[in-house]
Structure 1
Amino acid sequence: MFERFSKQARTVVVDAQSVARETGGTQIDTRHLVVVLAGSAGPARDALGSAGLDPDALATAVRADLRTGGLDAEALASLGIDLEAVRRETDATFGPGALDDAGARPGTGHVPFARDAKKALELALRETVRLGARSIDGGHLLLGVLRADCPGGRALERALRGAGLDVATVRTAVEQQRRAA
């Protein structure tokens, strides 16, 4: 399948591996792909912007989610745990940013794909075929993430809802971009 990836899409995959290392991931999941797709020039970033979402804000939010291990302040609060209080205590004891850096283990070796990322890549291929394209680009990768039931897709959906948008808006933006190209 990788022979069908455009140069830009291959760069996304390589950069997602770097993001996984930087954030202490042991596997590349779809959130790593979203960080790169939103944060670097290409069809996915263009589509996110034209749909009305701030790609840089999305990349920053998902990267922060990765660094904290996906800690959900609302979910913890429902259990009586104040994440900000835990963060303050951790910072006081171990230094600023300790909780965010707790899982970070930068390495240099190969980082494998998680099951959700593999599924998103497979769905990207299906989107490429559906749209009649010859190669998989970042827009197709974004569509694959949106179709997969995955952490990256859920993070993207949260950001879209927060901006008053929906998945259909982004799908339409990617497809319109493909027609214009």
Structure 2
Amino acid sequence: MLERFTKDARAVVQTAVGQAEATGAATVEAEHLLLALLDREASRGSFALASLGLTAERKESVRQSLAEARRRAGLSQAEADALAGLGIDVAEIVARVEEVHGVGAMSGDRKDKGWWSSGRRTFGRDAKDVLERSLRTAVARRDRHIGDEHILLALTTRPGVPGEVLADHGVTHEALTRVLYGEGGGEGETEAKAG
């Protein structure tokens, strides 16, 4: 599949691997793909983010939101709210765990980054799903190659932290489709036009 990726999309994947390595994560996840997209400049994805008002300051807010979710063991705010409805205070659990094990203990980040023996990061299920969705998006749009904009669009169609954080910052699938293609429709409309 990587042979169908544009230079920008390949750079996103490579930067995502670097993001995972920097935090000591065992696998590359969808969050790392989003962080890599935030670092891009002069690409279709970066222009789309800028068009939707994701300035440098707002990108930092996205990074902080991702860090907060990582601190909650990767739970989205919606999941934390659902647990609160059951009487489970995620913030309290995080505070207690961090009191005993230190700040960030639930994040999955490793402080001793030398623990990884193979030197290569594998892609987690959610990152693989994003990359597969980016392929399906490109095919549905009849685009010959997968660009970083397709990865960004794929992130907005998945449930979970990256999609939730993007939506909280005004970056939805519909808004991206409008900016990138001048269309107002969602996923179903995009696929209908392609078929």
Check if 1:59 corresponds to 2:63.
Answer: yes
Query: Does the Cα contact within 8 Å between 1:39 and 1:59 map onto a contact in 2?
Result: no
Structural RMSD (CA):
3.0
Q: Which residue of 1 aligns with 2:38?
A: 38
- Secondary structure at the counterpart of residue 99 of structure 1: coil
Q: Which residue of 1 aligns with 2:180?
A: 174
- Secondary structure at the counterpart of residue 52 of structure 1: coil
TM-score w.r.t. structure 1 length? 0.72
Q: Which residue of 2 aligns with 1:50?
A: 51
Check if 1:82 corresponds to 2:83.
Answer: no
Give the CA deviation at 1:11. Answer: 1.6
Q: Map Cα deviations across residues 8-56 of structure 1 (whole Å, 9 max, x no partner).
A: 2112111212223344433222222112112332322321231234333
Query: Does the Cα contact within 8 Å between 2:17 and 2:121 map onto a contact in 1?
Result: yes
Q: Which residue of 2 aligns with 1:28?
A: 28
Q: Which residue of 1 aligns with 2:163?
A: 156
1:155 aligned partner, one-letter code? P
- Secondary structure at the counterpart of residue 27 of structure 2: coil
Distance 2:73 2:99 in 1: 20
Q: Which residue of 2 aligns with 1:99?
A: 105
Give the CA deviation at 1:114. Answer: 2.4
Q: Which residue of 1 aligns with 2:187?
A: none
Give the CA deviation at 1:87. Answer: 4.1
Q: Which residue of 2 aligns with 1:179?
A: none
Check if 1:124 corresponds to 2:134.
Answer: yes
Identity %: 31
Give the CA deviation at 1:139. Answer: 0.6
User: Where in structure 1 do 4 or more consecutive aligned residues deviate above 6 Å?
Assistant: none
TM-score w.r.t. structure 2 length? 0.68
Q: Map Cα deviations across residues 89-143 of structure 1 (whole Å, 9 max, x no partner).
A: 4454444x24355x21234722212233223223322333444544322112112
Distance 1:150 1:134, change over 3 A: same
Q: Map Cα deviations across residues 58-100 of structure 1 (whole Å, 9 max, x no partner).
A: 23322432344214543443343434444444454444x2435
Distance 2:66 2:106 in 1: 13
Query: Does the Cα contact within 8 Å between 1:27 and 1:112 map onto a contact in 2?
Result: yes
1:46 aligned partner, one-letter code? F
1:104 aligned partner, one-letter code? D
Distance 1:142 1:164 in 2: 13
Segments of structure 2 that go 5 or more residues without pairing to the other structure are 183-195
Of the three residues 104, 110, 113, the one matched with 2:120 is 110
Q: Which residue of 2 aligns with 1:12?
A: 12
2:66 aligned partner, one-letter code? V
Query: Does the Cα contact within 8 Å between 1:48 and 1:55 map onto a contact in 2?
Result: no
Q: Which residue of 2 aligns with 1:70?
A: 74
